[in-house]
Amino acid sequence: MIVFILAVLLFLVGLYGILVKRNIIKLAIGLIIMEYAVNLFFVLAGYREGGTAPILDGDLAPGTVFVDPLPQALVLTAIVIGLGTTALLVSFAVKIYEKYDTFDIRKIRKLHG
Amino acid sequence: MSLLLYFIIVPLGGAFLLPIISRLRESLSDWVGNAITALLLYCSVYGVITASGKTVTYFVGGWRPIADIPVGINLVMDGLSGLMLLIVNIVALLVTLYSVNYMARYTDKGKYYTLFLLMVAGLNGVILSGDLFNLFVFLEITAIASYALVAFGIEDEELEASFKYQVLGGTASALILLGIAVFYQTTGTLNLADASRVIAGIGHTPTVLFAGVLFMAGFCLKAALIPFHAWLPDAHPAAPAPISAMLSGVVIKVLGVYPLCRLFFNVYGITPLIQDIFMVLGVVSIILGVFLALSQWDFKRLLAYHSISQIGYVVLGIGLGTPLGILGGLFHLINHSVFKSLLFLNAGSVVYATDTRELKELGGLQRKMPVTGATSQVASFSIAGLPPFNGFWSKLIIIVACVQAGQMLFAVLAVIGSILTLLSFLKVQRYVFFDALKEKWKNVREVPFLMCVSMIVFALLCIGMGLLLLPQISAVTLKPAADVLYTGLEYATKVLGG
């Protein structure tokens, strides 16, 4: 149980970063921390105490405990998606720095309302 | 029926081929882009007619369910999916038609069509996918493509808007994925139909509801309902006009409203508490959205605030939970797709001709741009809910449904929202199209032929869509869609059989 609480705490750390930080690079880092906390949570959800790798072969004793393979497959996909979003986000941060000469979101304010 | 797979494969394949094709010849990308969206529209019309309101399930790779428990991925097209597919692909075709001339302002059309088709593939995927994780993957494909498209002009404002959109969109995705993790841990399945059975068995336990709260927050962020709306008024105006039309017209609905309906009606089973949340979010969005719109002087920003307000009507109607309310909500959803896309294209035409979006700088364009002017009047009357345009019928149904359900307050607020919308669009019409012609717009000309065609077709749809309420037409489009939501938990039986 404690690991789940820690994963959620990590998620909240990321959320704190997004809500409080003013530097766009730090915002990106907050988002990444949040994504990884979710991935961690998901993998932990599939973990079984004393389970083996979920591979079917002939000489398995009946009643063997498997680790749930589905979350692992899903997290792998989620990590790849995370890579895509992170790359896009960081490249935008660089572009914004070229245009505005700052990483501070208080100074990046051409949009009104 | 493997037709369902084509909705995803065709645009995805097109997106990968386009960078090569556009190398050969820039103008080829126009042809390929339009051909693919036309093909998709044909497939969706064909699919909806052959399915005629029944549920069609396709098991990817032939992994059929064993003893009613799904083991593979399945794609599902029922009434609701059919209706959404139809509207997404109609808007996509007309928007690509419009892009042929409009996107000549920007460099590299090949990349534009690549991203556009990725977005369409994602949208079709979200609509068709029968399990939660695929829904998430397609949702991310759409989101990433739209982040890039919002910033397609890579100017200061576009980058800023897109960054904001990315941070909030990323937060929404993280919330949704966390929801999926909690959901999976509790129910042990990700298939929507299977999960719906499991939840019917264990009931709404605290963990199931916690996942529900995460979904609600995540998808409301994607749908930009107030108080989750902060990104929309920046992101939608910053995009090129055809993309604004896609984003406001279909993306917020497919990524936000559709999964909310699917989850809470078909998987969770609707309860009075969830209905109340839907209705309150809807009414708050209607009123605040329209008030925020009233004070805007940027053409596209004003339209973006109206999107928030109009999505409020959709959610209010669906949240009523009565057959009439759901029908009205879904009808307003497709109507809004049509008239809001048209309005954004009109704004795009004005920008194309004059290079400004400031209402105060424009004036008297009616004489110079008769097609843009006339179509924008049709769209403005539709969004304001004047008869006989399509917006009138759907708003009427929603308001009547509110009264029937005994929600007099919501009905009154919906009427007030509609009147304020009319006021706001009278302002647009006066400042942009009527008023005296300013000296500097003397040489303005009507936009090219294809852009006119696209706008005229949208305008005809605005006028004609009231016909969808005729019993014969409604029986294959609106009625099956509303039934899917109204019959709620029967979804599992329809998809998995037995």
pLDDT grade for B26, boundaries at 50, 70 and 90: confident
Single-letter code of the amino acid located at B454: S
What's the token pair of residue B118? 């990725």
Amino acid B443: pLDDT: 84
pLDDT grade for B63, boundaries at 50, 70 and 90: confident
Contacts of A39 in chain B (CB under 8 A): 177
Burial environment of residue A91 by CB neighbours within 10 A (0 to 12, 13 to 18, 19 or more): exposed
Check B163 against A24: CB less than 8 A apart: yes
Higher pLDDT, A67 or B319: B319
B357, B360, B417 from B412: Cα distances, Å = 33, 32, 9
The answer to whether residues B164 and B233 touch, using CB atoms and an 8 Å cutoff, is no
Is the pLDDT reported for residue B1 higher than 60? Answer: no
Q: How far apart are CA B183 and CA B416, in angstroms?
A: 39
- Average pLDDT over all residues of chain B: 91
Q: What is the mean pLDDT of residues B265-274?
A: 91
Phi, psi of B77 (to 5 degrees): -120, 105
Amino acid B2: pLDDT: 78
Q: Topology of domain A2-50+65-100, per CATH? A: Helix Hairpins (1.10.287)
Q: What is the pLDDT of residues B299-314, one digit of tens each?
A: 999 999 999 999 999 9
Q: What is the mean pLDDT of residues B469-496?
A: 87
- In chain A, where are the structural domains located? 2-50+65-100
Amino acid A69: pLDDT: 82
The answer to whether residues B65 and B496 touch, using CB atoms and an 8 Å cutoff, is yes
Interface of B with A (CB under 8 A): 133, 136-137, 140, 143-144, 147-148, 151, 154-157, 159-163, 166-167, 170-171, 173-174, 177-178, 180-181, 184-185, 190, 233-234, 238, 292, 296, 301
Interface of A with B (CB under 8 A): 11, 14-15, 18, 24, 27-28, 31, 34-35, 38-39, 41-42, 45, 70-71, 74, 77-78, 81, 84-85, 88-89, 92-93, 95-96, 99-100, 108-111, 113
pLDDT grade for B123, boundaries at 50, 70 and 90: very high
| Nearest chain B residue (CA) to A104 | B160
Q: What is the mean pLDDT of residues A18-40?
A: 93
Interface contacts (A, B; CB < 8 Å): 97
Instruction: Give the other-Cβ count within 10 Å of B373's Cβ.
Output: 21
Phi, psi of B191 (to 5 degrees): -70, 130
Contacts of B115 in chain A (CB under 8 A): none
| Nearest chain B residue (CA) to A71 | B181
Q: What is the mean pLDDT of residues B248-257?
A: 94
Please tell me the least confidently modeled range out of A59-68, B3-12, B316-325, B379-388.
A59-68
Q: How far apart are CA B23 and CA A107, in angstroms?
A: 39
- Among candidates A41, A81, A92 on the partner chain, residue whose Cβ is nearest the Cβ of B162: A92
Q: How far apart are CA A15 and CA B450, in angstroms?
A: 46
Q: What is the pLDDT of residues B147-157, one digit of tens each?
A: 999 999 888 88
Maximum Cα–Cα distance for chain A, whole Å?
67
Check B159 against A99: CB less than 8 A apart: yes
Q: What is the pLDDT of residues B191-213, one digit of tens each?
A: 999 999 999 999 899 999 999 99
- Among candidates B140, B156, B181 on the partner chain, residue whose Cβ is nearest the Cβ of A38: B181
Amino acid B220: pLDDT: 94
The answer to whether residues B291 and B226 touch, using CB atoms and an 8 Å cutoff, is no
Amino acid A6: pLDDT: 93
Asked if residue B19 has a cis previous peptide bond (ω within 30° of 0), the answer is no
Contacts of A12 in chain B (CB under 8 A): none
Q: What is the pLDDT of residues B482-491, one digit of tens each?
A: 998 998 888 8
